[in-house]
Amino acid sequence: MKRVKLTIEGGLPAPDRKKIAAALSEEFETETPLILELCILSEGEIRALNARERGVDAVTDVLSFPASDYVRGKPISAAEHADCIEPVMGKRGGEWVQKGERLYLGSVAVCKKRAQEQAEEYGHSLAREMGYLIVHGALHCLGYDHEREEDKREMREREERVMERLDLRREE
């Protein structure tokens, strides 16, 4: 398998999305272009989403909604995740045509106000906190979690590697 492009849609200006996507792309292998949806939500929006999807009526910092299971640490195959393939459309000669396909990884929702509060609480920039929350959510969409101690360690190591690539390290 080779490394291919990850596209993040929504939420942030295109240069920021591209930078985060490039940094995350070192954490997986696939032959199919990938897409991840990013939503920046208000406190009310993320609270409602948290209540509806997880049964927790509270504001949270980040929510992840992976589209597939069983992608953690192994090459992501379009054949194994055919239900997550979507067409890439474009115009050719004035007509809309399918120009390819990409695999939908899932959605990440971040509460900007909660990120700002946490940035102040932890003594670092909003850019670092937003970057961390997006990376954290994206890793959940790639199958990583922090339920068991060994899983938490692995996820944190991956988060730190990606944050270093983004030059958003923890401020000592």
pTM, 2 dp: 0.89
* For the chain, percent of residues with pLDDT exceeding 90: 67
The yes-or-no verdict on residue 164 having pLDDT over 60 is yes
For position 2, what pLDDT does the model report?
A: 46
55 C-beta neighbours (distance < 10 Å), count: 7
Backbone angles phi, psi at 134, to 5 degrees: -65, -45
pLDDT digits (tens, 9 = 90+) for 51-105: 999 999 999 999 999 998 767 887 888 888 888 888 888 888 888 888 788 889 9
Query: How many residues are listed for the chain in this entry?
Result: 172
Region of poorest pLDDT, from 72-81, 97-106, 109-118, 145-154:
72-81
Q: Which residues pair with 89 in a beta bridge?
A: 98
Spatial distance between the Cα atoms of 12 and 39, rounded to a whole number of angstroms: 8
- Which structural domains are found in the chain, ordered by start? 6-165 (3.40.390.30)
Pairing of strands 62-66, 34-41: unpaired
**Listed residue (32, 33, 31) closest to 21, CA to CA:** 33
Name residue 123's amino acid.
G
20 exposure class (CB count in 10 Å sphere: 0-12, 13-18, 19+): buried
For position 77, what pLDDT does the model report?
A: 80
